[in-house]
Amino acid sequence: MSAPTVKRAARDAQDNTVFRRIARAGYAANGVVHILVGVVFVVVAFGGDGESDQAGAFKAVGAAPLGFVGLWLIAITLWALGAYHALEGILAWGGDAARKWGRRVAQWGQAVAFIAVGVLAAAVAIGARPDPDEAAEDASRGVLAIPGGPFILGAIGVGIGIAGIAFVVMGVRRSFRNRMTIPDSALGASVTALGVAGFVAKGIALLIVAVLLIVAAVRVDPEGAGGLDAAVDALIAMRYGPPLVASVGVGLIAYGIFCLFRAPYADL
């Protein structure tokens, strides 16, 4: 199949009204997940118990009456949003080859992230009880066992760290507004403020995970790797850790609320 034919098919898919509406709903689903994770962050900061990651959020949803229905809705809408970003990568236009491929990699990275979270939601919906921290440790152990493993694990940590920095920069520079049509009103200003706080908080959370992976690579210790839940445990043990965890939690809640507004305002 030729490149023009592929792009034409991708453009036709993007132009489908139903598909775009489901993809928009994916932003709202992503918002719900971040709100739940943020709430658990705050609860843990004040001494409570909970799994402060996406799997924990999905288990909480699944425990509610008809929760499996909510999980499937989250999964389907996130898959649609991931597919939309994948199509955006195919349709990347303008600029030289380097900039075009940079946009493609960014779009495809977002596609993988949304689809992966959707798969996690679907897995919990059918009864799985995943432990991301244990999975991260197992994966890190496998990576460290191969030649050059510590360098590979460290590179993964650096990659996640770069993503975290990108989120912080997007929040500080308010560049997230470039792909949205935010009304010029008091409501629009509030949405922007939520976006700033949310992007910075999400970036900080990713940076913490990155640090854990890099430390595990340097020490050649897979037990040091982990996801958000492990990151929270590491922070709580530090001086002034609880206030920091609570602050990040509030920021994630802000990001989740921002995503709810992003659903109607995103330029799709």
**Which residue do the tokens 């689903």 mark?**
29
Residue with tokens 């962050």: 41
Confidence of residue 240 (pLDDT cuts 50, 70, 90): confident
CA-nearest of 74, 50, 52, 53 to 62 is: 74
> In the predicted model, is pLDDT for residue 118 greater than 80?
yes
Task: Tell me the β-bridge partners of 266.
Answer: 180
**Residues 148, 103, 3, 114: what is their CA dihedral angle, to the nearest 10 degrees?**
70
- Residue 150 Cα distances to 154, 228, 234, 249, angstroms: 6, 21, 21, 31
Lowest mean pLDDT among 116-120, 194-198, 221-225, 244-248: 221-225
Q: Among 27-31, 132-136, 156-160, 230-234, name the most confident range.
A: 27-31
Residue 205's pLDDT band, with cuts at 50, 70 and 90, is: confident
Buried b (16+ CB within 10 A) or exposed e, 216-240: bbeeeebebbbbbbbbbbbbeeeee
Query: d(Cα 210, Cα 127) in Å, to the nearest integer?
Result: 30
Q: Is residue 94 over pLDDT 90? A: no
What was the pLDDT predicted at 134? 64
The percentage of the chain sitting over the pLDDT mark of 70, rounded to a whole number, equals 82
How many other C-beta atoms can be found within 10 angstroms of the C-beta atom of residue 169? 13
CB 203 within 8 A of CB 166: yes
What was the pLDDT predicted at 197? 92
Confidence tier at 138 by pLDDT (50, 70, 90): low
Nearest 5°: the CA angle 19, 175, 29 is 35
CA dihedral (250, 72, 26, 225) positive or negative: positive
Output DSSP code: residue 224. G
Most confidently predicted of 10-14, 33-37, 234-238: 33-37
Ordered by start, the domain boundaries in the chain are 3-265
Supply angle C-alpha 43, 208, 157, rounded to 5.
145
Exposure b/e, 118-134, CB count within 10 A at least 16 = b: bebbbbbbeeeebebbe
122: which residues sit within 8 A by CB, 6+ positions away?
71, 72, 75
Q: Is the pLDDT of residue 161 over 80?
A: yes
DSSP state of 50: -
Q: What percent of the chain has pLDDT over 90?
A: 29
